[in-house]
Amino acid sequence: MNRAIGIFAHPDDEAIIMGGTLIQLAEMGWETHLICATKGEASTAYDRDYVKKEDLGPVREQELLRAAEIMGVTKVHFLDYMDATLVEQDEAEAVEKLAVRLNALQPELIYTFEVNGISHHPDHKTVHRWMMKLLHEGKLNYAPEAVYLATVDNRAGRLKNGLLMGSPIEDITTIIDIERVADQKAKAILAHRTQMKMLINNGLIVDGALQRNHRHEYFIKLDGSGQPVQLKEKEMQLPAKR
């Protein structure tokens, strides 16, 4: 089927964390999907001149759909949890919800957060935990080719507000150069207009462009059952379609 899926917590996680990878997978002919656990209703970094607090959920939903279109994503699936409540949700139920979606789509490539959720956001860490539980408990009715935990290089990736923390370079297995699609990634990030102030304040976007040292995307590769894989050298290419 040649499908890839990214599973994240809030609208904007996908574009910031792996926008360049999503764009390039789609270019290579992968059918790409996203699962977003919430609609980002609890954001405090939104643009108050542009949207009222009570409209944040529906507006951010539209922003994610627009970003997805820019990145060539085929479909966005929402789990409809409330933002900032994932820790409190019933874990078994959430794992089941995710399993139903994944088993229907059977994506060969699965992307989600690394253990610390990159930024240590509790929602991010919870999505990671749900996904690992799902994989380790054998909830999938098929064998994915690989699972990638999205991260950043913690030597270079830290933004002013500490948003991107990341992993030690020795834990990172996969480094994808996104220079060629950096402008397209910036457009996808900027589609999250309610988050503009945060995106500019943290230095990710400078003068409408992606900051120079954010032109690689980093992953920790696991096998299809969520176990670590040993690679002789770092993987620098996206997987070819089967």
Q: List, in sequence order, every residue forming a beta bridge with 205; answer none if it has no partner.
A: 210
DSSP letters for 155-209:
TT---TTS----B-GGG--EEEE-GGGHHHHHHHHHT-GGGHHHHHHTTSEETTE
Q: How far is the CB of 18 from Zn ion (least distance, A)?
A: 12
Site string for Zn ion, 10-39 (x = CB under 5 A): x--x--------------------------
**Residue with smallest beta-carbon separation from Zn ion:** 10
Residue 9 in contact with Zn ion, rule: CB under 5 A: yes
Contact 110, 124 (CB under 8 A): no
Residue with tokens 């599973």: 7
Return the residues of window 120-149 that contact Zn ion according to CB under 5 A.
none
Token pair in block for residue 178: 């996104």
Nearer to Zn ion, 3 or 60 (CB): 60
Which window, 2-10, 138-146, 147-155, 200-208, contacts Zn ion (CB under 5 A)?
2-10
Q: How far is the CB of 124 from Zn ion (least distance, A)?
A: 6
What are the residues whose beta carbons fall under 8 Å from the beta carbon of 17, sequence distance 6 or more? 6, 8, 113, 118, 150, 217
Q: How far is the CB of 43 from Zn ion (least distance, A)?
A: 9
Nearer to Zn ion, 20 or 40 (CB): 40
Residue 77 in contact with Zn ion, rule: CB under 5 A: no
Nearer to Zn ion, 24 or 38 (CB): 38
Q: How far is the CB of 148 from Zn ion (least distance, A)?
A: 17
Nearer to Zn ion, 13 or 41 (CB): 13
Gyration radius of the chain's alpha carbons: 16
Residue 67 in contact with Zn ion, rule: CB under 5 A: no
Q: List, in sequence order, every residue forming a beta bridge with 210; answer none if it has no partner.
A: 205
Nearer to Zn ion, 36 or 70 (CB): 36
Nearer to Zn ion, 28 or 200 (CB): 200
Write b or e for each residue in 25-45: b if 16 or more Cβ atoms lie within 10 A of its Cβ, otherwise e: bbeeebbbbbbbbbbbbbbeb
What are the residues whose beta carbons fall under 8 Å from the beta carbon of 181, sequence distance 6 or more? 20, 23, 24, 27
Element (H, E) at 94: helix 91-105
Q: How far is the CB of 150 from Zn ion (least distance, A)?
A: 11
Nearer to Zn ion, 9 or 188 (CB): 9
Q: Which residues would be at the binding site for Zn ion (CB under 5 A)?
A: 9-10, 13
